[in-house]
Structure 1
Amino acid sequence: MAELRTLVLVLGDQLDLDAAAFDGFDAAQDGVWMAEVADESTHIASGKPRITMFLAAMRHFAQALQEQGRPLHYMRLEDPGNAGSLAAQLLADVARLRPSRLLMTAPGDWRVLQALKAAAQSCGLALEIREDRHFFSSVREFAEHARGRKSLRMEFFYREQRKKHQILMDPAQAGAPLGGQWNFDAENRAAFGAEGPGLLPTRSRFEPDEITREVIALVERRFAHHPGSLTGFAWPLTRAHALQALQAFISERLPLFGRYQDAIWPGDPWLYHAHLSAALNLKLLNPREVVAAAVAAYEAGQAPLASVEGFVRQILGWREYVRGVYWTQMPGYLELNALGAEQELPAWYWTGATDMACLRDAIMQTLTQGYANHIQRLMVTGGYALMLGVRPQTVHAWYLAMYVDAVEWVELPNTLGMSQYADGGLMGSKPYIATGKYIDRMSPHCKGCRYDPVQRTGDKACPYTTLYWDFLMHHETAMANNPRMALQVKNLARLSIEERQAVRSRADAIRRGEVGALPNA
Structure 2
Amino acid sequence: MAERLKTLRLILGDQLNHQHSWFKDDYEDITYVFMEIRQETDYVVHHIQKILGFFSAMRNFANYLKDRDHKVIYFKINDKNNRQKLDENIKNLISKEGFKKFEYQLPDEYRLDEQLKEICKELDIETEAFDSEHFLSERKELEKFYKGKKQLTMEYFYRHMRKKYGILMATDSDPEGGKWNFDKSNRKKWNGDPDIPHERGFRKDVSSILKELEKSGVKTMGSVSEKNFNWPTSREDSLSVLNYFCKNLLVHFGDYQDALHSDEAYLFHSRLSFSLNTKMLSPKEVIDSVIDYYYDHKDDIDISQVEGFVRQILGWREYMRGIYWKEMPGYKRSNKLRNQNDLPSFYWNADTKMNCLHLSIKNSLENAYAHHIQRLMITGNYALLSQTHPDEVDKWYLGIYIDAIEWVEITNTRGMSQFADGGIVATKPYVSSGNYINKMSNYCKDCHYSVNKKTGEKACPFNSLYWNFLDDNREKFKDNQRMNMMMSLLEKKDSKELEEIRTRAKEIINKPEDF
What are the within-5 Å matches in structure 2 for residues 11-22 of structure 1?
11-22=12-23
SS in structure 1 at match of 2:104 = strand
The separation in 2 between residues aligned to 1:30 and 1:110, in whole angstroms, is 26
- The corresponding residue for 1:176 is 174
- The corresponding residue for 2:450 is 452
SS in structure 2 at match of 1:504 = helix
The 8 Å contact of residues 19 and 105 in structure 1, kept in 2 or not, is answered as no
The 8 Å contact of residues 378 and 432 in structure 1, kept in 2 or not, is answered as yes
Can you give the 5+ residue segments of structure 2 that lack an aligned partner in the other structure? none
What are the within-5 Å matches in structure 2 for residues 259-274 of structure 1?
259-274=255-270
Work out which of the residue numbers 183, 189, 192 in structure 1 matches 2:190.
Answer: 192
SS in structure 2 at match of 1:393 = helix
* Residue 203 of structure 2 corresponds to residue 203 of structure 1: no
Letter in 1 for 2:282: N
- The corresponding residue for 1:311 is 309
What are the within-5 Å matches in structure 2 for residues 462-473 of structure 1?
462-473=460-471
- The corresponding residue for 2:37 is 37
1:368-410 Cα distance to aligned partner (Å, 9 max, x none): 1000010000000001001110111110110000000011111
The separation in 1 between residues aligned to 2:513 and 2:303, in whole angstroms, is 42
The separation in 2 between residues aligned to 1:369 and 1:140, in whole angstroms, is 34
* Residue 293 of structure 2 corresponds to residue 297 of structure 1: yes
The separation in 2 between residues aligned to 1:316 and 1:224, in whole angstroms, is 35
The separation in 2 between residues aligned to 1:455 and 1:328, in whole angstroms, is 43
SS in structure 1 at match of 2:200 = coil
The separation in 1 between residues aligned to 2:456 and 2:215, in whole angstroms, is 46
The 8 Å contact of residues 8 and 102 in structure 2, kept in 1 or not, is answered as yes
- The corresponding residue for 2:377 is 379
* Residue 222 of structure 2 corresponds to residue 219 of structure 1: no
SS in structure 2 at match of 1:99 = coil
SS in structure 1 at match of 2:221 = coil
Report which stretch shifted further, 115-124 or 331-340: 115-124
* Residue 250 of structure 2 corresponds to residue 254 of structure 1: yes
Structure 1 pair 267–88 and aligned structure 2 pair: CA distance change class (3 A): farther
- The corresponding residue for 1:394 is 392
Cα RMSD (Å): 1.6
The separation in 2 between residues aligned to 1:140 and 1:391, in whole angstroms, is 29
SS in structure 2 at match of 1:481 = coil
Q: How many corresponding residue pairs?
A: 509
The separation in 2 between residues aligned to 1:317 and 1:464, in whole angstroms, is 30
Tell me by how many angstroms 1:123 deviates.
2.3
The separation in 1 between residues aligned to 2:219 and 2:407, in whole angstroms, is 27
1:281-316 Cα distance to aligned partner (Å, 9 max, x none): 000101111101111122112521000000000011
SS in structure 2 at match of 1:416 = helix
The separation in 2 between residues aligned to 1:155 and 1:99, in whole angstroms, is 47
Structure 1 pair 334–504 and aligned structure 2 pair: CA distance change class (3 A): same
The 8 Å contact of residues 4 and 97 in structure 1, kept in 2 or not, is answered as no
The 8 Å contact of residues 8 and 99 in structure 2, kept in 1 or not, is answered as yes
Letter in 1 for 2:209: V
Letter in 2 for 1:226: T
Letter in 1 for 2:473: H
- The corresponding residue for 1:370 is 368
The separation in 2 between residues aligned to 1:517 and 1:135, in whole angstroms, is 45
- The corresponding residue for 1:85 is 85
The separation in 2 between residues aligned to 1:516 and 1:198, in whole angstroms, is 37
- The corresponding residue for 2:476 is 478
The 8 Å contact of residues 21 and 130 in structure 1, kept in 2 or not, is answered as no
Report which stretch shifted further, 26-35 or 361-370: 26-35
The separation in 2 between residues aligned to 1:73 and 1:61, in whole angstroms, is 12
Tell me by how many angstroms 1:516 deviates.
5.0
Scaled by the length of structure 1, the TM-score of the pair is 0.95
The separation in 1 between residues aligned to 2:179 and 2:442, in whole angstroms, is 32
The 8 Å contact of residues 191 and 264 in structure 1, kept in 2 or not, is answered as yes
- The corresponding residue for 1:411 is 409
The separation in 1 between residues aligned to 2:45 and 2:94, in whole angstroms, is 28
Letter in 2 for 1:244: S
Report which stretch shifted further, 196-205 or 373-382: 196-205
- The corresponding residue for 1:427 is 425
- The corresponding residue for 1:51 is 51
1:151-200 Cα distance to aligned partner (Å, 9 max, x none): 321101000111111110114xx41111111111111100013xx24532
- The corresponding residue for 1:487 is 485
The separation in 2 between residues aligned to 1:197 and 1:66, in whole angstroms, is 47
Scaled by the length of structure 2, the TM-score of the pair is 0.96
Letter in 2 for 1:297: Y
Can you give the 5+ residue segments of structure 1 that lack an aligned partner in the other structure? none
SS in structure 1 at match of 2:414 = helix
The separation in 1 between residues aligned to 2:509 and 2:104, in whole angstroms, is 46
Structure 1 pair 197–353 and aligned structure 2 pair: CA distance change class (3 A): farther
- The corresponding residue for 1:511 is 509
- The corresponding residue for 1:9 is 10
Tell me by how many angstroms 1:3 deviates.
9.0
The separation in 2 between residues aligned to 1:504 and 1:15, in whole angstroms, is 50
Letter in 2 for 1:289: E
Tell me by how many angstroms 1:140 deviates.
2.9
Percent identity for Structure 1 against Structure 2: 38
Letter in 2 for 1:69: D
The 8 Å contact of residues 20 and 130 in structure 1, kept in 2 or not, is answered as no
Work out which of the residue numbers 438, 443, 447 in structure 1 matches 2:436.
Answer: 438
The 8 Å contact of residues 150 and 426 in structure 1, kept in 2 or not, is answered as no
The separation in 1 between residues aligned to 2:260 and 2:406, in whole angstroms, is 26
The separation in 1 between residues aligned to 2:345 and 2:486, in whole angstroms, is 31
The 8 Å contact of residues 216 and 230 in structure 1, kept in 2 or not, is answered as no
- The corresponding residue for 1:500 is 498
The 8 Å contact of residues 338 and 422 in structure 1, kept in 2 or not, is answered as yes
The separation in 2 between residues aligned to 1:156 and 1:223, in whole angstroms, is 47
The separation in 2 between residues aligned to 1:309 and 1:186, in whole angstroms, is 12
Report which stretch shifted further, 411-420 or 120-129: 120-129
- The corresponding residue for 1:321 is 319
